[in-house]
Amino acid sequence: MTATITSIARYVPPEVYDNKYFESFLDTTDEWITQRTGIHERHFLKEGATSDMIVPAARLCLEKRGLSPKDVDAIIVATVTPDHLFPITAAIVQKQLGIEKVWGFDMNAACSSFVFALVTACKLVESGVARRILLCGGDKMSSIMDMQDRNQAVLFGDGAGVALIEPSDDPECGLRDFMLNIDGEGEKYLKMVAGGSKNPASIETVTRREHFIHQEGQAVFKAAVKGMADISHEIMNRNGITPETLRWLVPHQANLRIINATAERMNIGPEKVKVNIERYANTTSATIPICLSELVEEKQLKKGDNIIISSFGAGFTCGSIYFKWNSNGYME
Ligand code: UT7
């Protein structure tokens, strides 16, 4: 048995912030942001938490499939910005949706959270442990961005995407192969220094602005291109997929130059690369489901299409999934 995505939906907060917004309080320009990142605008959630974006996306996802929340038997929330460190955001989502007799958990693999969770959800369905999993990816990145630091304030946005994972009616389709990797050597380049057990919150950690994202952009940039391209290439090779037989590369959206360099390294033309960073910036765990939901909406996916989904994030975490598209007919 294989597992597949039978429905997918997204929620992005209505408030849009273009690059010019940052010019009033940071030493930056629309031109710099556009040229160095490809980002034009992003959405920030004014009030509320990550679950407040996930819940409407989850409702829409179930509605599209003609199911109600009670039909779900597990909830996974991929996020780096949970509502609280505990309780888990999956439980908050469960309560908001009014689902009973369900289990679930949160998963954090930084920008690879959704990719790692997609593999996990599919394997749980394949093994028969669960039949219908609500796989949620959401992040309120504005809650951990340092708006005084031009090196990262311009890079992220808020959003959520939710996919329903069910057994595929065609065993040749759905999740076909994957490679996931973690490498703690990356710890020093991208992290939130305080707030965990190593550096609990204190007046000092707040004064030192250690509850925000800290990153060395260039080191992350280089590792991201190599990481995503190399394992995606390997996945393609071992499954006999060529740039010609690939339909879509769906990469994590952190920087347009990272996306372009990754595709170039893999010999994949721009017409096969999903890009939406210009409208959302880096939404971390929401990026991949937002991309997929747009492709579905635009009718850009049909049964049998070869898709490579690829991600890279803090850790370093890195993942690549080979998915042969099949929605069991629910999204055709
Ligand atoms: O998914 C994982 C999450 N993170 C990433 O993937 C991020 C990966 N890295 C990147 O996307 C890029 O490295 C950045 C967009 C963060 C930076 O771009 P870059 O081309 O690597 O710039 P840089 O770090 O080499 O900085 C060049 C200059 C510096 O000024 P000086 O030292 O040359 O005077 C920066 O201070 O650009 C400056 N700079 C800015 N200038 C205007 C950095 N951010 C800004 C800004 N506006 N927003």
Residue closest via CA to ligand 1's atom 21 equals 218
Tracing tokens 């595929």 back to the chain, one arrives at 168
Per run of 10 residues, the mean pLDDT along the chain (length 332 residues) is: 97 98 96 98 98 98 95 97 97 96 96 98 97 98 96 96 98 97 95 96 97 94 93 95 97 96 94 98 98 97 97 96 96 84
CA of 53 to the centre of ligand 1 (A): 29
CA of 143 to the centre of ligand 1 (A): 20
Instruction: Tell me the β-bridge partners of 308.
Output: 249, 322
Residue 115 Cβ contacting ligand 1 at under 6 Å: no
Half-sphere exposure of residue 121: CA atoms within 13 angstroms, side-chain side: 36
Half-sphere exposure of residue 157: CA atoms within 13 angstroms, side-chain side: 30
Residue closest via CA to ligand 1's atom 35 equals 151
Residue closest via CA to ligand 1's atom 16 equals 217
Residue 32 Cβ contacting ligand 1 at under 6 Å: yes
Residue 218 Cβ contacting ligand 1 at under 6 Å: yes
Measured CA to CA, the distance from residue 245 to residue 9 in angstroms comes to 27
Tracing tokens 């199911």 back to the chain, one arrives at 67
CA of 153 to the centre of ligand 1 (A): 11
CA of 151 to the centre of ligand 1 (A): 5
Residue 217 Cβ contacting ligand 1 at under 6 Å: yes
Q: Is 174 helix (H, G, I), strand (E, B) or coil?
A: strand
Residue closest via CA to ligand 1's atom 6 equals 254
What are the catalytic residues? Answer: 111, 252, 282
* Domains along the sequence of the chain with CATH: 3-167 (3.40.47.10), 174-331 (3.40.47.10)
Q: State residue 137's pLDDT score.
A: 98
CA of 27 to the centre of ligand 1 (A): 12
Closest atom of ligand 1 relative to the 151 alpha carbon: 44
Residue 81 token pair: 């910005």
Name the CA dihedral angle for 133, 246, 229, 153, rounded to a multiple of 10 degrees.
-60
| Contact (CB, 8 A) for 325 and 305 | yes
Q: Is 53 helix (H, G, I), strand (E, B) or coil?
A: helix
Residue 36 Cβ contacting ligand 1 at under 6 Å: yes
